[in-house]
Chain A
Amino acid sequence: MFEPKIIAFLCTWCSYTGADLAGTSRKSSPWNIRAIRTPCSGRVAPELIIKAFSEGADGVLVLGCHIGECHYDSGNHRTAKRIPLLSSLLTITGLEPERLRLDWVSASEGVRFSQIAQEFTETVRELGPCKWNAPDLFFATQPEIVEATETKVEVGS
């Protein structure tokens, strides 16, 4: 069975704590979710989401505090506006809109986190592997560049 790779950007104040609660209250959530803790869902720049898809994510989940409960007052307002817009931009450039999901999970909603995580994983599983991470057309034939080893500078010498 296809196991999707899902990057979840979780707001540290609500959703990350919510995910924690899901764990401590023994609610299972799929291991496909790779959680990234962010200070606020407003910190999730569109470039981060594009980068996640470019690097091989099959789905990106952005979870933040409910509207009106943001730790920074209006951080999630911006997320609420940005993500639908980004979704339509990514759609026109060839991504299925279902692969990007925005939702709200508060710190006390461990059950809700587990539900959303399962739902989203199933949605992405049905879509199959993401084609967005296409091979680099121009550089495909180029040899891999070996990284130069850094010379250590010892302090005090």
Chain B
Amino acid sequence: MITKKIQEYASSLLADQVVDCVIGYEVGPRRTTRPIFVDQQADTDRLVWNQNCSHNLTVYLRQKLNDTEGRIGIVVKPCDSKTINVLGAENRIDRDRLHIIGIECEGILEGNVKQNADSGELQRRCLACDLTEPLDMDYMIGGSIERKNLPDNSTSNKLSRWLEKATADDRLEYWLSEFDRCIRCYACRQACPLCDCPTCLFEREDSIWTGSSATTKDNRSFHLGRAFHLAGRCIGCGECQRACPMDINLGELNRVLAREMEEQFHHRAGYTVELSPITTILGEGR
């Protein structure tokens, strides 16, 4: 039903020339979905919405806005709208050139690009999610569901609780074994909608001091650095971990920093159009 509404609305947007292109989801192989860029009215019937639509489509926004002069329509889940807020606060995108199609969301199913999404379990971020509709949109589709507070019994949550209680040595061993697997393919960086410096710090010609080899030490420096660059900006879409071919637990680093940002700075990324507090100066009270 939502699929049909998206198709109709995208079709009308393209017919009225409100937007040049609509970014949405289409059916991919093995019961997955994949991003699609629709710029002709005839293609709008390829658009789809279901609980496998895990991608954060905002990652394509900057490139697409640079390529065209006109406006861009984008299908946005509630969580993805937080990215738009962060990008807007950082002046990376022009909100006026976007036409946001908001979708009500019941949660996205577990599963990643490498396997079918048929476990029937919601993703961890969805269990903790408190949004049913996007924070910012031009047109809303659906919007009648109620969010239930669901218990989080995922393995990933058990691991997080274990890490909190583990000794420093155990934590070090755990993280070294995670970082040791990294092959430095930078898929995590490419999949992240907020990790888009024109030249990455870890790939600059003068970046010898950050360490760019695929050794455990340099991998650790890369992953901690990457997580730190996203402090107060990461909205927890989990695309980095989903894109990782070596299944490194990147989400945990992001969650730790998000928790610290909330404790130390009372800041939750993306809920308002606001810069990360660590990029601003100290306030009156501090």
- Tell me which of B171, B180, B265, B280 contacts A93 (CB under 8 A): B171
B-facing mask of A24-57, CB < 8 A → 1, else 0?
Answer: 0000000000000000000000111011001000
Interface: A125 (CB within 8 A): no
Render B154-189 as a binary contact track against A, CB cut-off 8 A, 1 for contact. 000000000100001111111111001000000000
Interface size of A as a range: 20 to 34
Q: How far is the CB of A60 from chain B (nearest CB, A)?
A: 14
Q: List residues 202-255 of chain B with CB under 8 A from any CB of chain A.
A: 209-211, 215-217, 220-221, 224-225, 227-228, 231, 252-253
Question: CB within 8 Å of B: which of A64-96?
Answer: 67, 74, 77-78, 80-82, 84-86, 88-96
Q: Are B168 and A134 in contact (CB under 8 A)?
A: no
Provide the residues of chain A in CB contact with B171, threshold 8 Å: 92-94
CA of A139 to CA of B176, assembled, Å = 13
Stretch at the interface among B24-32, B55-63, B108-116, B256-264: B256-264
Q: Is the CB of A89 within 8 A of B264?
A: no
A-side interface mostly: helix
The chain A residue sitting closest to B255, CB to CB, is A92
Q: Is B281 an interface residue (CB 8 A)?
A: yes
Q: Which residues of B contact A91 (CB under 8 A)?
A: 168
Whether the Cβ atoms of A94 and B209 lie closer than 8 Å is: no
B221 to chain A, nearest CB (A): 5
Residues of B within 8 A of A48 (CB): 209
In the complex, are the beta carbons of B168 and A138 less than 8 A apart? no
Residue contact B216 to A94, C-beta cutoff 8 Å: no
With beta carbons under 8 angstroms apart, the residue of A46, A47, A92 that contacts B256 is A92
Chain A 134-148 interface mask (CB, 8 Å, partner B; 1/0): 101111000000000
Residues of A within 8 A of B231 (CB): 85, 89
CB < 8 Å neighbour of A132 from B172, B174, B211, B260: B172
